[in-house]
Chain A
Amino acid sequence: MKIFKKLTAMVMAIGVLIGSSAFADTVKIAFIDPLSGPFATTGSNGLAEWKFAVEKLVNEKGGVLGGKKMEVVALDNKMDGKESLIQVQVAIDQGIRFIAQGNSSGIANAITDMVKKHNKRNPDKRVIFINYSAVDPALTNDKCNFWHFRFDANADIKMDAITDVIAQVPSIKKMYLIGQDYSFGKAVAAAAEKYLAEKTSINIVGNELHPIGKVKDFTPYARKILASGADAVITGNWGADMVNLGRSLSESGFKGPIYCYYCASNGITGTFGAAGKGMLHLVGEGLHNPATPELTAYHKAFKAKYPKWDLSQPRIINAAQMLAAAINKAGTADDMVAVASALEGMEFDSKLLGTKVLMRAKDHQAIQNVHVGIHTDDVEIDYDNSGYGIKIFKTVEMASMDSATSCKMKRP
């Protein structure tokens, strides 16, 4: 019976912990991302960006619903699907109605699925899922639902932008596609095949997937890419897979550009340093150099408070402001149907990032300016405090504005 006593004490402790914050007069956003373990930097960086955005752009400007403060509650999902679902449930039980998550499309899939089921089963405790980073196209296509909103450009949109830029580079005749063997890597490859064929006459000389996080030495891949005679490489790799691929390529004598989705910040920019100069071409929204004066000031304030972190996920700036605007427009932070309806189709003028953002009603995908930038030390705002950063090379305005979606949105 000792066990049960122990359990009693412990669970009571949780109860106290949770109960105490349930009735405070703030609008809470549950931030569910890895805050411990190997992926914690991405999560912690995102949390800093969320906290700062909510503080600076919402609370300091009067909050929501006539003076209520917004608050970010951090919950660690340890980059684990099961743990994420537990944390979503904990957040719901605490009375939190907004779930923000971004790292890993796999986890986003699990959460959107759970939110859909939960909202159906508990109409009085519905929640909204703010996906600020997971870019698997399926989330706003086959797997879309009314409660999910994506603020990042998805993998297809980014590829649309990359290929727009590539089409203007006449020296690229042969392209090599390489990526991690999972849904996102496959989505990138499929989109690249489709858009390259539509827009250019570039020959795809290689299209392959390697196991995710299992390749120790990328040299053989680099050799193969060189042997294929490719002029450029497109990859969706992230983390160590990205760094090792880039490094092996440059060591093996590859001179062409690498178009990548996740080749900046979180130590990657610092690790590449001079070796990546001119080689890495990053696609993304909200790239900084050149930055609007508002963003420069915002960045300075951010760095003063969080010297270690970067504004590596600028869409968080939009997400925080648009959510606040939707709550104000709906006049409630409890009726999720009203808030979601207000967010749906919202047009937002982001002064900081110098872009319009449209939350497309038909699939809840944000449409915004997407840039392709180059890794260089000729920047105003750097990443990893390394002196290197990403300078905008080309901008595609309101990328994929009219793209099709297979989403069949069911509204309550």
Chain B
Amino acid sequence: MANGTNNTMSMSSVLPWIIAAIALVILPFVFTGGGSITIMNQIGITIVLAMSYNMLLGQGGMLSFGHAVYMGLGGFVAVHVMNIVEYQEIWLPLPFLPLVGGLVGLGFATIIGSFSTRKAGTVFAMISLGIGELIAACCIIITVFFGGEEGISGDRTMAPPTFGIEFISQKEVYFLIAFWVLVSTFLMYLFTQTPVGKMANAVRDNPERAEFVGYSMRWVRFVSFCAAGFFAGVAGGLFAINFEILTELNLNLNASFTVLLATYIGGVGFFLGPIVGAILFTLLQTVIGLKTDLWALYTGVVFILTVMFLPAGITGFFAMHLVPWHLGRFGMLLKPYAKIFLPALMFVIGAVGLTELVNHSRHHGDEVLMSLFWVEFNTKSAVPYIVLVLLTAVGFWFSRLFAREVKEAWGDATFVEGQGR
């Protein structure tokens, strides 16, 4: 972010938030189709969680394998509070429930962060793994609080009505979630603008120098960790409201792995990265999941490819293009991109098709017909195999051929005098 004058700065920085707010309000009226609000709610919760994870990995360079713990704990307490409210022992309107979750997340993060953030890297990652395993195991053992593997459920409609809203319908819940997504996103943005938030980046990139400036790396990591715990807890509170149940599955290692996958695919280190990741990942799970039982395999492959070829994630890929854009050389890239698009698409369709076809003929032997990419055909005949193998091979060959051109064009487009490539 460039240092403009204060006035224009505030105007240009407020505008995206207003647009986002309007978009969030309009969305449920655009997608009235069945199931879409349910999925949007899920996306919203994942966004908050992924963004809080980005505070650790993207901004602080801390690789955590136990981030879902803070969301889960926040969520569990939120459900318990929901039940207490139901029996009218305390008075708390539902929209404030995520705050309860957040405070719980913050509390636990403060305790655990006090010793786990002493070191970054492998040590931090291993402690987070151990904590994740421990708390998940406690979930099953301490049934009084966690309810065993059945979990704890509540009823959100029993809270005192807020402005006459009882949160019966999914849409009402959507607006509550949307509100909290916006608020948390804004707060997390503010965090990146604080000295601690800025130092977190410095600590990640160059620990020694950051230390010289006079900041304790450990302190910076600790503060980031606590803040991340808070927002994870908020996500847990939202989860409690939306699903009205929390189980061990919400805070075990798999749940933590999911956050890592979503955030990384979206792009760590970019503010928008986790948002993109959360949206894509949830859709991958729900939409692709409806189509194929191999969705997890595809997710894994996409993840590995992201790590190998797009270390900054999908957002990073788009952000990369800002350089040629500013240099006015974006046009140079268009032709090679257009050229590689078709073979790349062919390769992907061929490879995915082949994978699906083999899977279908091996595991669904009962049904001879299958449809792939809206084409229906007979799996017993050799034709689809030949077509798909050809697609894959030809696509691969031409992709490699054109990849060189893309590389060259990319080099030219981003070439800056005096800096080398």
In-complex A–B contact (CB below 8 Å): yes
- Which A positions have Cβ atoms within 8 angstroms of B? 1-4, 6-8, 10-19, 22, 35-37, 40, 44, 48, 75-76, 78, 80-83, 85-86, 89-90, 92-95, 105-106, 109-110, 113-114, 117, 121, 136, 181-183, 211-212, 214, 305-308
Judging by beta carbons under 8 Å apart, are B295 and A36 in contact? yes
With A4-B23, A14-B39, A113-B245 already in contact, 4 other A-B pairs whose C-beta atoms are closer than 8 Å: A3-B272, A8-B31, A22-B34, A82-B42
Chain A residue nearest to B34 in the complex (CB): A93
Residue on A with the closest CB to B24? A4
- Are B30 and A81 in contact, CB atoms less than 8 angstroms apart? no
Contact A18 B33 (CB under 8 A): yes
Pull 26 A–B residue pairs with CB atoms less than 8 Å apart, ordered by A. Answer: A3-B276, A7-B283, A11-B31, A14-B33, A14-B35, A14-B39, A15-B34, A15-B36, A16-B33, A36-B289, A48-B366, A75-B290, A81-B245, A82-B249, A86-B286, A93-B33, A94-B34, A106-B150, A106-B151, A109-B150, A109-B151, A110-B245, A114-B245, A183-B150, A212-B149, A306-B366
Partner of B279, one of A7, A92, A94: A7
Beyond A81-B247, A113-B245, whether A94 also contacts B35 by CB under 8 A is yes
Complex contact A6–B363 (CB within 8 A): no
Picked from A11, A80, A110, A214, the residue with its CB within 8 Å of the CB of B33 is A11
Task: Note all chain B residues with C-beta closer than 8 A to A78.
Answer: 285, 289
Cβ contacts under 8 Å, B289 to chain A: 36, 76, 78
Contact of A93 among B35, B150, B287 (CB under 8 A): B35
Residues from chain A with Cβ under 8 Å of B318 in the complex: 2
The answer to whether the Cβ of B275 comes within 8 Å of any Cβ in the partner chain is: yes
The 10 closest A-B pairs by CB, nearest first: A93-B34, A15-B33, A90-B35, A36-B293, A182-B149, A89-B38, A106-B149, A93-B35, A11-B31, A109-B150
Closest A residue, CB atoms, query B275: A3
Among A16, A19, A113, max chain B CB count under 10 A is at A113
Question: Once the chains bind, are B366 and A305 in contact (CB under 8 Å)?
Answer: yes
Chain B 153-170, CB-CB to A under 8 Å as 1, else 0, gives 101010000000000111
B331 at the interface (CB under 8 A from A): no
The distance in angstroms between the C-alpha atoms of A147 and B19, with both chains bound, is 44
Q: Is the interface of A mostly helix, strand, loop or mixed?
A: helix
Which residues 31-64 of B sit at the A interface, judged by CB distance below 8 A? 31-36, 38-40, 42-43
- Known contacts A15-B33, A18-B33; A10 and B283 CB within 8 A of each other: yes
Query: A85 and B34: CB pair below 8 A?
Result: no
Cα distance, A398 to B137, chains bound together (Å): 39
Chain B residues with CB below 8 A from A182, complex form: 140, 148-149
| B108 interfacial by beta-carbon distance below 8 Å | no
**Residues of chain A lying within 8 A (CB to CB) of residue B168:** 121
In the bound complex, CA of A78 to CA of B365 (Å)? 22
Least CB distance from A110 to B in Å reads 5
Q: Are A114 and B244 in contact (CB under 8 A)?
A: yes
A78-B289, A86-B286, A182-B140 as given contacts; A110 in contact with B34, CB under 8 Å = no
> Which of B19, B32, B293 has most A Cβ within 10 Å?
B293
- Docked complex Cα distance between A181 and B42 (Å): 30
Closest-CB distance, A310 to chain B (whole angstroms): 14
Taking each of B137, B150, B287, B365, which has the highest tally of chain A beta carbons within 10 Å of its own beta carbon? Answer: B150
B150: A residues at CB distance < 8 A: 105-106, 109-110, 136, 183
What separation, in Å, do the CA atoms of A271 and B401 have in the docked complex? 49
Whose C-beta in chain B lies nearest to the C-beta of A52? Answer: B366
Q: Is the CB of A214 within 8 A of B31?
A: no
| Contact in complex: B170, A89 (CB < 8 Å) | yes
Is the beta-carbon distance between A8 and B34 smaller than 8 angstroms?
no
B19 near A11 (CB under 8 angstroms)? Answer: no
A211 touches B34 (CB 8 A): no
User: Do B42 and A86 touch across chains, with their CB atoms under 8 A apart?
Assistant: yes
Measured CB to CB, the closest approach of chain A to B68, in angstroms, equals 11
Report which residue of B33, B43, B141, B365 has the largest number of chain A beta carbons within 10 angstroms of its beta carbon: B33
Q: Name, among A40, A82, A136, the residue most crowded by chain B CB atoms within 10 Å (CB to CB).
A: A82
Judge if B243 is at the interface, Cβ distance under 8 Å: yes
- Measured in the bound complex, the distance between the Cα atoms of B39 and A15 in whole Å is 11
- Tell whether B296 is near chain A: CB-to-CB under 8 Å: yes
Task: Name the distance in Å between A214's Cβ and chain B's nearest Cβ.
Answer: 7
Instruction: With both chains docked as a complex, state the minimum distance between the C-beta of B299 and any C-beta of chain A, in angstroms.
Output: 10
Q: For B280, list chain A residues within 8 Å (CB).
A: 6
Query: Min CB distance, B393 to chain A, in Å?
Result: 28
Cβ contacts under 8 Å, B151 to chain A:
81, 106, 109-110
Residues of A within 8 A of B23 (CB): 4
Nearest Cβ in chain A — how far from B294, in angstroms?
7
A308-B365 in contact (CB<8A): yes
A106 to B148, CA, bound (A): 9
Once A36-B295, A305-B366, A308-B365 are accepted as A-B contacts, the answer to whether A1 and B34 lie under 8 Å apart by CB is: no
Contact in complex: A121, B249 (CB < 8 Å): no
Q: How far is the CA of A44 from the CA of B366 in the complex (A)?
A: 12
Closest residue on chain A to residue B166 by CB atoms:
A121
Contacts A48-B366, A181-B140 known; A90 to B294 CB distance under 8 Å?
no
CB distance from A304 to the nearest CB of B (A): 9
Complex-state Cα separation, A165 to B78, whole angstroms: 47
Contact B33 A183 (CB under 8 A): no
A85 touches B137 (CB 8 A): no
A6-B279 in contact given A18-B35, A182-B140 (Cβ < 8 Å) = yes
A35 touching B286, Cβ below 8 Å: no
Contact B30 A37 (CB under 8 A): no
